[in-house]
Amino acid sequence: MLPLSINNQTLAWGERTYVMGILNATPDSFSGDGLYAQNAQNALAQAHQFVEDGADILDVGGESTRPGSEPVDADEEIRRVIPIICAIAEEMPKTLISVDTYKASVAEAALAAGAHIVNDVWGLRADSELASVVAKFDCPVILMHNRSNPASVEVREKLGNAFIGAEYGNLLEEVKAELLESVEIAEQAGVKSESIILDPGIGFGKTIEENLELNNRLNEIRALGYPVLLGPSRKSFIGYTLDLPADQRVEGTAASVAIGIARGADIIRVHDVKEMTRIVRMTDAIVRR
């Protein structure tokens, strides 16, 4: 697997696990960490803290993917994320920035403002123009598997909302096949193979048991030949397993991250950067010797 060079940095897959810190520029993040009410300077302070705590990549998003959340139009999403991306790019030029969006116009604005990576929770299936934007900017793209249905949401007091699982005949085989369909969309648009990163979509249209199985069989996604991102942070499958609300899921996230790394994860996407960086470094010390 070829190393990925971005912004004068090299991500050497397999040598260590990279940490992506979540910057939510939303009013309705499920984890309660949205920066919507704050200005770009406060978001910048959070970005500095994340990097100090060990983040390799900052993932800026302006539309919540929380089950039951309201869609946001592209103009509003741009209004939320561009000031933050501009501030980080100007003050922290060596820091890698990804934009968490499935909209081509948002991605184009973000890349022009200084973002380096597109993180698409719909795997290039929601906006037919996004693959062309990624190819135009010659940037890496994270393709996530997603069968979630916004209308199929379970609500439990204290534990929050969760997507109800879609129907699978064979979970791993179907996830792999649909990820490879997203890869084909990317490559047909001119995206380089070495610029593609896969995400199995923990928490998106899968049952608690299916999320646990995906986490434990991440090596089968990695065997497709692309770097893999794992994003379990504070998600409902942890809350439902441990009977805990979102703000008490750090230990459950740590377990998921450690197992994910042991199964081949290359990037972990998390809210609790300081704690998860320590988990990453310890797990790497054990499994990547």
At a CB cut-off of 8 Å and minimum separation 6, what does 269 contact?
Answer: 20, 22, 59, 229, 230, 231, 233
Written as six digits, the tokens of 45 are: 């302070």
Tell me the one-letter amino acid at 27.
Answer: P
Closest to 28 (Cα-Cα) out of 1, 6, 61, 75? 61
Which residues are catalytically annotated?
A: 235, 269
Q: In this structure, are residues 166 and 199 in contact, taking their beta carbons and an 8 Å threshold? A: no
Closest to 233 (Cα-Cα) out of 249, 212, 214, 215? 249
CA distance 199 to 248: 24
* Cβ contacts of 154-158, under 8 Å, gap ≥ 24: 154/67, 155/68, 156/240, 158/245
Closest to 222 (Cα-Cα) out of 263, 161, 164? 263
At a CB cut-off of 8 Å and minimum separation 6, what does 12 contact?
Answer: 3
CA distance 288 to 14: 8
Sheet holding 229-230, edge to edge: 196-199, 141-144, 117-120, 96-100, 57-61, 18-24, 267-270, 229-230
